[in-house]
């Protein structure tokens, strides 16, 4: 079939398999251009391995460090008459390129929050890898069923303590408009923490440790975003921020557990990028469009693969990790430079429907958004007939 993008709100309901493959190949080539990561990981488990920062982590582990990778994700396969999800095609492409270079890669498709998938993962590690020396936690999901209680929690994107009225971009109509979000209830806050906080990360590390599949010196990291004052009301001071603050609490116990193996656990702070998750946050498309404008002018703009490549080389496996005073690893400092944030803030106050394309890089935002779904990738013929069926090699 010939597949074209069909965008509805913050989602594109079609996906281009050839475009996704080309996008993965571009990321692989970028990582390989830096050479090998000295003393990098050997056996890596990536939870949330199919898109965004999780996919980038898998690519850097495999093609930057030559690591064996086991990926866990929850994606939908394409059929003869309907494309699958981007993460499915990304993973199929990753497997194809890893196999071509003789790199071990296996994947598990299922609910990573469940005990069943945890056990299936442990069994695969025991059978093929023995132990893992790096665990990446990069899950992003709207809901989670707690395997201990059986309760399903749904996350929300809301401010805490006050209603919020803030400008954003209506991405369908491509206009600036006010978004009104009511303050979250205590139940909504708790549910969001249950979905997006650190409980499941801790459950994973406990399960892996109890099963004896964490290597001596094993490391783990979970990804977070802090941002600055423009995004704080909806992000860091909102329900998502409450969940991310839970990571900061949980990492202390996780670090203590790994210390017994001579290992370490850190929360890693990454910059704002276009992902399926960030596109759903009302203020983020406008903030990202202004940030792109500012950072591209300085030559400091980075996407997922640039951020994660730098994180691995500078901090996770660097001689002098970039740490803040709370012990988080930082890869977001270029975004948070005062002059960058001042420029973004000034543009925020000036932008309107008449100057949106002059003052922001909304075109760049839209381009990055469509690339998530395999569209607008260089070198791809979008008039060609493509097969939406793409099996994943070594899917357990």
For residues 262 and 131, what is the distance between their CA atoms, to the nearest angstrom?
14
Question: Residue 197: phi, psi to the nearest 5?
Answer: -80, -160
C-alpha distance across the termini of the chain, in Å: 28
State the binding site for NAD(+): 48-53, 74-75, 111-112, 139-140, 244, 273-275
For residues 233 and 359, what is the distance between their CA atoms, to the nearest angstrom?
23
For residues 52 and 37, what is the distance between their CA atoms, to the nearest angstrom?
21
Q: Which of 30, 89, 235, 365 is catalytic?
A: 235
State the binding site: 48-53, 74-75, 111-112, 139-140, 225, 244, 273-275
Q: Tell me whether residue 235 is one of the annotated catalytic residues.
A: yes
State the binding site for substrate: 225
Exposure of 86 in the CB half-sphere (CA atoms within 13 A): 25
Contact 231, 283 (CB under 8 A): yes
Reference 267, options 300, 205, 213, 220; nearest CA is 220
- C-alpha distances out from residue 338 to 287, 297, 335, 396, Å: 15, 16, 9, 47
For residues 373 and 363, what is the distance between their CA atoms, to the nearest angstrom?
16
- Reading the block at residue 199, the tokens are 């409980």
Which residues have a catalytic role annotated? 235
């Amino acid at each position: 079939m010939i597949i074209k993008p069909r965008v509805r709100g913050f989602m594109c309901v079609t996906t281009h398999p050839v475009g996704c493959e080309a996008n993965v190949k571009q990321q692989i080539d970028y990582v390989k251009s830096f050479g090998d990561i000295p003393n990098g990981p050997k056996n890596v488990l990536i939870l949330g391995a199919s898109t965004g920062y999780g996919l980038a982590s898998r690519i850097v582990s495999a093609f930057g460090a030559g690591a064996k990778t086991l990926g866990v994700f929850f994606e939908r396969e394409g059929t003869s008459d309907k494309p699958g999800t981007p993460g499915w095609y990304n993973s199929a492409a990753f497997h194809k390129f890893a196999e071509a270079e003789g790199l071990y890669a296996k994947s598990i498709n299922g609910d990573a929050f469940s005990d069943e998938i945890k056990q299936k993962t442990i069994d695969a590690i025991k059978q093929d890898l023995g132990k893992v020396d790096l665990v990446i936690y990069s899950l992003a999901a709207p809901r989670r069923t707690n395997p201990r209680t059986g309760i399903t929690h749904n996350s929300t994107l809301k401010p805490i303590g006050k209603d919020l009225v803030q400008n954003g971009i209506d991405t369908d109509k491509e206009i600036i408009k006010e978004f009104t979000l009511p303050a979250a209830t205590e139940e909504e806050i708790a549910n969001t923490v249950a979905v997006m906080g650190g409980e499941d990360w801790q459950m994973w590390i406990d399960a892996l440790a109890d099963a004896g599949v964490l290597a001596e010196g094993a490391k783990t990291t979970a990804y977070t975003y802090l941002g600055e004052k423009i995004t704080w009301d909806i992000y860091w001071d909102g329900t998502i921020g409450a969940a991310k603050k839970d990571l900061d609490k949980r990492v202390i116990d996780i670090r203590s557990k790994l210390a017994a193996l001579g290992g370490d656990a850190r929360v890693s702070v990454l910059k704002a990028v276009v992902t399926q998750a960030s596109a759903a946050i009302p203020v983020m498309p406008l903030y990202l469009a202004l940030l792109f404008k500012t950072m591209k002018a300085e030559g400091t703009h980075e996407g997922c693969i640039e951020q994660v490549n730098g994180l691995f080389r500078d901090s996770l496996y660097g001689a002098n990790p970039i740490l803040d005073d709370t012990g988080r690893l930082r890869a977001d400092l270029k975004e948070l430079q005062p002059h960058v944030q001042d420029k973004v803030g000034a543009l925020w106050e000036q932008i309107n429907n008449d100057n949106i394309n002059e003052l922001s890089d909304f075109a760049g935002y839209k381009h990055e958004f469509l690339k998530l779904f395999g569209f607008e990738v260089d070198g791809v013929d979008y008039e060609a007939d493509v097969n939406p069926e793409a099996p994943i090699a070594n899917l357990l």
